[in-house]
Copies of this chain bind each other. A is one copy, B any other.
Amino acid sequence: MIQLAALAAIREDLERVEAALLSISPPDYPELDNVIRDLVSAGGKRIRPALVLLAGRCNRYSPERLLDGAVSIELLHTATLVHDDTIDSAALRRGRATVNSYLPAKAAILIGDYIFAQAAMFASRPQHTSVISIFARTLMEICDGELRQMMGNHRAEVSRDDYYRRIYAKTAALFACATEIGAVLTDAPQRERRALRLYGEKLGMAFQVVDDVIDFSSTSEQAGKPVGSDLQQGTATLPTIIFLERASYPDGHAEAVRRALEGAPDADHARAVELIRESDALELAC
């Protein structure tokens, strides 16, 4: 749960979100109760539910309606993470073993679908159909971005525009969804709803850029995943794009990074990460 002072106003309601997340009815198989409970309780900083509640604070705050939206968005996020990790065969998430690392991929797909269903259930509770429309559109944007990333990976000529489009889908779409839902559930006027949506979007873009810089700058213990994991998977994030844009690096360096990104069999992945870490690309990205 996030601990910023600015969040004091919603702390109690965030705790109610936490309790609601832990109460999602698990399927009939006791072996899976714990898996789903662990997944939901390992939930990181709860930024998205906090955004729903904070956006709601801008208007007539009504925790009952906002709570369902907040729980729903966190479940939607969790479901997409389960499928993402399965797709990427990722072993760690927030320092913990992923579901797909200890259960067959097929169980992970189904558990993701089950959590989607739970998200839809909570989204339907405030009796507000635009909430569902916003959710559905967001899920489409997320899938579209993932498909785009899958088709475009291992290419060294990724532009900043491609990158921004991708991180919009990956992160900013759900942030924008959170603030918009906060507005909708408190009957904010149209202009305010648009402004809050835009705020969420910009915050999400910034959040993802920082996350992508941390992927290079942190240690694997801090990040809970291997350093430079994006590059390893063939994904060019902003630091890599900036590094490749700058002609001033010695030629061999750009080539080494390019080959690592393209997954060349003889590429030295660790050296490519080191070259980016030691350059000014991380600073320029922020």
User: Contact residues of A with B, CB < 8 Å?
Assistant: 27-29, 31-32, 80, 83, 86-88, 104-107, 109-111, 113-114, 116-118, 120-121, 123-125, 127-130, 132-133, 135-137, 139-140, 142-144, 146-148, 150-151
In the docked arrangement, what's the CA distance between A83 and B32, Å?
Answer: 19
Q: Chain B contacts of A132 at CB under 8 A?
A: 120, 123-124, 129, 132
In the complex, are the beta carbons of A121 and B144 less than 8 A apart?
no
In the complex, are the beta carbons of B144 and A28 less than 8 A apart?
yes
Q: Chain B contacts of A140 at CB under 8 A?
A: 27, 114, 117-118, 121
In the docked arrangement, what's the CA distance between A143 and B31, Å?
Answer: 15
Main secondary structure of the interface of A (DSSP, over half): helix
Q: Chain B contacts of A120 at CB under 8 A?
A: 120, 132, 135-136, 139
Residue in B83, B110, B121, B137 whose beta carbon sits within 8 Å of that of A113 in the complex: B83
In the complex, are the beta carbons of B143 and A121 less than 8 A apart?
no
Q: Chain B contacts of A146 at CB under 8 A?
A: 110
Residue in B87, B123, B137 whose beta carbon sits within 8 Å of that of A106 in the complex: B87
A205 to chain B, nearest CB (A): 19
Number of copies: 2
Besides the known contacts A29-B151, A83-B109, A121-B140, 16 further A-B residue pairs in the complex with CB atoms under 8 A apart: A27-B140, A28-B147, A29-B148, A32-B147, A88-B106, A110-B143, A114-B143, A117-B137, A117-B139, A121-B136, A121-B137, A124-B132, A125-B129, A129-B129, A129-B132, A132-B132
A26 to chain B, nearest CB (A): 9
16 A–B pairs (Cβ distance < 8 Å), ordered by A: A27-B147, A28-B144, A28-B147, A28-B148, A87-B109, A87-B110, A105-B105, A110-B146, A117-B140, A118-B136, A118-B140, A121-B137, A123-B136, A124-B133, A125-B129, A128-B129
In the docked arrangement, what's the CA distance between A29 and B151, Å?
Answer: 8
Q: Chain B contacts of A83 at CB under 8 A?
A: 109-110, 113
